[in-house]
Structure 1
């Protein structure tokens, strides 16, 4: 009612020569006020601390206040804060680890307590297992999933069925599933594959190229959820998809859904216990958003813009002071 009255006054003023210019200005202002979109603000009550890993950022722990609380100066592609407080990392190649490696680092002293040096081209991921051993993805001429014990000995080997021309793009977030199988996202194969560890048999394949391979929906992170669905981060495709057991997409989110370009190479992802999804934009630079959280309704409720570069992967550690317990969903 107030808007209609204001418009009516402006309309009448238009017939007054002495007020023509003023009325025109008021009319434009009124129209602009009525048509400009209003974006909902993020939920400022949400605060996360997290472990972030990458090439440029190295390995860092960021507190809920956004400040860096801990840093380990080696490039890493995957990592975990263990129950004992130590930090487990999969390392990119360095002088000390020319083919990549795995280290467990004392969080207080930053002393390396355990190490494994890669034996092929690259180590892409590591996951701590319940018995104290580690599941590792080793890339190269013979890509494989290996389990190494605390002595650094390989106690199990499973060949991975993927392309061998590009070692770096063979697989990323290899994980152990609750049923004992492995899940491996193979980037250039546009496929997430589930393996039987003892035989290497592929028992399920989820394709990520239904939009056409030119979209570069390379799967980087694949998470098997409690309901049996699989959450997949599609790197250069700049989207997250959730598929059912048959591989059908039942949920997805893109920049178009968000209404802003937060996706910039979606690498790491984590499904939180409340059903929200946190996503890493690896190519984000400067003040751009490096991590953001979306609801199932595709509303952004939290974002992190610190550091100068994005993260390959991360682990949300706490939310509003409370530990996030289900951290295997990453």
Structure 2
């Protein structure tokens, strides 16, 4: 599908223009109901419907793995489902991750657990999570990742904290954050990059819990931080952030953008005709192996 026109601006500090394309091929989730691959010129190259998708990965074999509200799926480019996990009733799934052994990590709200699911769809490992009883099911957990050392990093959305657990589920530390965290990424230097949801903020904290970098609500002229959701730290040091525009902001501004460490916008994507509430992104020109933790998102 060709776009009627294209406007592109290379690194600028004020939002004088917004590109209709991302300058990179992008995999993204639109919470309104689909997972999409966009070319660098904004054309839809692949798309599948999904109910409330929240996390997505391109695997080394080219298939797409994504979490949706009722579980997780791996789908080929010709739309064939080759793997699926269906969660129990009254459970929500908002994160998944491909693991080195071929299993898939899934976090469940409602059952309050991290599970690793094998290729047969069976649970190979379970880690129980303890959340406050007053936290509603939908608000329990968001982004969850297993690190190279076998630890788990979990966004406790409704409790405004990141929790690190060891491989058996023992709590190692808790990192309080503003807002309701939606994504946590362990960087190469062991710092944590955390998007703070409706806290309208992004923070990077060091292993001691000290904030060493932050992006605030009004730091980017013309692009107010709304609900900060998914992110992808690129090999060049820049980061792509998904700015979820639900909660009353649909169609108002760019849906995701690439940012330099000194807070310069390289490009921004806005397409309010075809997309509503993009909440997760992956740059497909990052050639790291996602199953080995080489893609930082």
**Match of 1:14?**
none
- Work out the CA distance in 2 between the residues paired with 1:67 and 1:311: 16
Q: Is 1:233 aligned to residue 203 of structure 2?
A: no
**Match of 1:179?**
149
- Work out the CA distance in 1 between the residues paired with 2:72 and 2:22: 33
**Match of 1:251?**
213
The secondary structure found in structure 1 opposite 2:158 is: coil
Q: Deviations over 1:225-252 (max 9, x none)?
A: 1111100000111111000111111100
The secondary structure found in structure 2 opposite 1:256 is: coil
- Work out the CA distance in 2 between the residues paired with 1:240 and 1:300: 15
- Work out the CA distance in 2 between the residues paired with 1:55 and 1:269: 15
| RCO higher in structure (CA 8 A, sep ≥6) | 2
- Work out the CA distance in 1 between the residues paired with 2:258 and 2:287: 14
Q: CA deviation at 1:255?
A: 3.4
**Match of 1:312?**
279
Q: CA deviation at 1:55?
A: 2.3
- Work out the CA distance in 2 between the residues paired with 1:49 and 1:57: 20
Q: Is 1:206 aligned to residue 169 of structure 2?
A: no
Query: Which of the pair is proportionally richer in strand?
Result: 2
Can you give the 5+ residue segments of structure 1 that lack an aligned partner in the other structure? 1-37, 93-99, 210-216
Distance 1:292 1:204, change over 3 A: same
- Work out the CA distance in 2 between the residues paired with 1:54 and 1:259: 24
Q: CA deviation at 1:119?
A: 1.7
TM-score (norm 1): 0.78
Distance 1:148 1:40, change over 3 A: closer
**Match of 1:59?**
35
Q: How many residue pairs are counted as aligned between the two chains? A: 272
Q: Deviations over 1:27-71 (max 9, x none)?
A: xxxxxxxxxxx9486898971111111321510111100111111
Q: Deviations over 1:144-172 (max 9, x none)?
A: 00011001111111011223431111111
TM-score (norm 2): 0.86
**Match of 2:186?**
224
Determine if contact 2:14/2:221 at 8 Å carries over to the other structure.
Answer: no
**Match of 1:294?**
259
